[in-house]
């Protein structure tokens, strides 16, 4: 598919030669961009420099190949003014919220010249585990705190619960505490030693045994889904920690959820997000660097990247018309 306008795209991501071309969603997005006639450039967020209001980065021309044994080429690096680009895709994840906050504030300087997707302000203000707290009826019963007494009272109310760090990702640091579990205080002490922010304490949803659904949502509309099924005797379904991928169905409840969330996602400039649903409840909304595109293509022959790029191009057209 070709686009009516060839766009100059910069991708902020981990080093391209180190990605897994069998699974990486940024790779799928890059190949689709090239099919549409767009040119790609790579830079790492660590190379960002803001000087007198001008944001630059150490950039290299990037070409993705539809060849898993030789998936990309990089040109030579040079510092470029990021206002030269039409669109910047933020496709790197950060476990350090302070670094992520600083990086998005730097990218905010581009707002009148270059379209950044997802929107850096909207992304910064929408942490994965916090955005859904504005829609409490769509989420499991949730407590966010560092207060052990509050956590114990919540556990007494709920019985089984999940406790996890506010800024964790990939299933790291997620603990299932059962009603008769004596380890709550020990888990709390360990989390306190590792994390300075509050913790997320949520009602345990038994449907996790059937899987944690990742829904690909584009401009508030559900496009496709995969079901991440946890190993036996585990409450963590993330593929990075041993979960297995199965085809996910988009239910009427999923569509109702997305209809509720759509106005807020669109307003915040969150064009492409990953919605995590267990049973009837949303546990997280991931706006940073959602994954799962290649799993969906292999299992369902749905190329979400085509829909995503259609949305990106529409956003760019609106951006230029508003300038």
CA atoms within 13 A on the CB side of 102: 11
Per-residue model confidence (pLDDT) at position 207: 87
- The CATH code of the domain that includes 89 is 3.40.50.20
315 within a domain of the structure (yes/no): no
Q: What is the pLDDT of residues 83-102, one digit of tens each?
A: 999 999 999 876 677 889 99
> Does residue 316 lie in a domain region?
no
CATH number for 228: 3.30.470.20
List the domain range (segments joined by +) for residue 58: 8-124
Within-domain flag for 1: no
> What is the Cα–Cα distance from 203 to 26, expressed in whole angstroms?
33
Question: Tell me: the pLDDT tens digits for 27-79?
Answer: 999 999 999 999 999 999 999 999 999 999 999 999 999 998 999 999 999 99
Tokens of 98: 């302070």
Of the candidates 39, 41, 42, the one whose C-alpha atom is nearest the C-alpha of residue 7 is 39
69 inside domain: yes
* 167 and 60 within one domain: no
Give residue-wise pLDDT tens across range 233-281. 555 555 554 567 789 999 999 999 999 999 999 999 999 999 999 999 9
Provide the CB-side half-sphere exposure for 301 (13 A, CA). 0
Q: Is residue 118 predicted with pLDDT exceeding 90? A: yes
DSSP-assigned beta bridge partners for residue 203? 161
Contact 171, 238 (CB under 8 A): yes
Residue 3 belongs to a domain: no
How sure is the predictor about 2, in pLDDT bands with cuts at 50, 70 and 90? very low
Q: Are residues 148 and 227 in the same domain?
A: no
* Residue 243: per-residue pLDDT: 66
Cα 136 from Cα 142, distance rounded (Å) = 8
Give the integer Cα–Cα distance in Å for 45 and 37.
25
Domain count, the chain: 3
Report the SS3 class of residue 286: strand
pLDDT 10s digits, 309-320 = 999 999 999 999
* Dihedral over Cα of 159, 143, 93, 250: its sign: positive
Secondary structure letter of residue 5 according to DSSP = S
Residues 214 and 261 in one domain: yes
Average pLDDT, the chain: 90
197 pLDDT band, cuts 50/70/90, is confident
Give the 3-state DSSP-derived string for 189-202, with helices as H, strands as E and coil as C.
HHHHHHCCCCEEEE
**Residues with catalytic annotation?**
129, 164, 214, 228, 236, 276, 284, 286
> Does a structural domain hold residue 2?
no
Selection from 57, 58, 56, 63 nearest residue 77 by Cα: 58
Same domain? 81 vs 180: no
Same domain, 231 and 198: no
């Amino acid at each position: 598919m070709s686009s009516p306008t060839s766009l100059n795209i910069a991708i902020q991501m981990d080093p391209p030669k180190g990605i897994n071309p069998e699974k990486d969603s940024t790779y799928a997005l890059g190949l689709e961009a090239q099919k549409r006639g767009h040119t790609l450039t790579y830079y790492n967020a660590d190379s960002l420099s803001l000087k007198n209001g001008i944001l630059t980065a150490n950039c290299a021309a990037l070409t993705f190949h539809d060849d898993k044994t030789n998936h990309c080429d990089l040109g030579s690096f040079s510092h470029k003014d990021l206002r030269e680009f039409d669109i910047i895709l933020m496709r790197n994840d950060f476990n350090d919220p302070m670094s992520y906050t600083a990086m998005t504030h730097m990218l905010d300087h581009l707002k009148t010249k270059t379209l950044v997707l997802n929107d850096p302000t909207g992304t910064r203000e929408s942490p994965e585990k916090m955005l859904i707290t504005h829609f409490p009826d769509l989420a499991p019963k949730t407590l966010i705190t560092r207060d052990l007494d509050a956590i114990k009272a919540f556990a007494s109310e709920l019985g089984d619960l999940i406790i996890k760090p506010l800024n964790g990702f990939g299933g790291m640091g997620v603990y299932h505490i059962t009603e008769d579990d004596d380890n709550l205080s020990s888990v709390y002490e360990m989390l306190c030693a590792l994390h300075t922010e509050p913790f997320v304490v949520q009602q345990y949803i038994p449907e996790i045994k059937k899987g944690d659904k990742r829904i690909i949502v584009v401009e508030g509309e559900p496009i496709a889904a995969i079901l991440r099924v946890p190993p036996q005797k585990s409450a963590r379904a993330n593929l990075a920690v041993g979960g297995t991928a199965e085809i996910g169905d988009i239910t009427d409840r999923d569509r109702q959820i997305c209809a509720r969330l759509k106005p807020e996602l669109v307003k915040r400039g969150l064009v492409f997000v990953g919605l995590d649903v267990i049973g009837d409840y949303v546990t997280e909304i991931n706006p940073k660097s959602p994954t799962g595109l290649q799993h969906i293509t292999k299992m369902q022959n749905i190329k979400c990247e085509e829909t995503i790029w259609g949305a990106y191009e529409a956003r760019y057209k609106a951006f230029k018309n508003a300038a």
